[in-house]
Structure 1
Amino acid sequence: MNKYRYIKEHNNYDLKLGAEYQGYIYKKGWIAIPNNQNDIVLYREECFKKIN
């Protein structure tokens, strides 16, 4: 998994702007990030920046 920073707010996302999350590219344009219940949630890639 890679680290991603949430950089662009989206109405439907309950994430903290500027926070870092572990995830991976699910398919073009989508990032999969596990939530606290270990369910995989898909988010638009445009709202995140990959951190190396």
Structure 2
Amino acid sequence: MVTPLGGNNLTVQMYESYPSDGDTWTVSFVNSAGTTGTYTVYAVCTPVTDAG
């Protein structure tokens, strides 16, 4: 997650991250400091392989 403050000055706390559809990932967070800005979340997907 990239924050407007950068570095380790995170002003948000993520509380869920999950695949919500076949090609969609959902992330929810709370901004307890009330800082305004744009937050960008990246999901890196890899194919699942059969271990058997």
Higher strand content, 1 or 2: 1
Give the TM-score band, short-chain normalised.
Answer: under 0.3
Q: Higher Cα Rg: structure 1 or 2?
A: 2
- TM-score by length of structure 1 reads 0.27
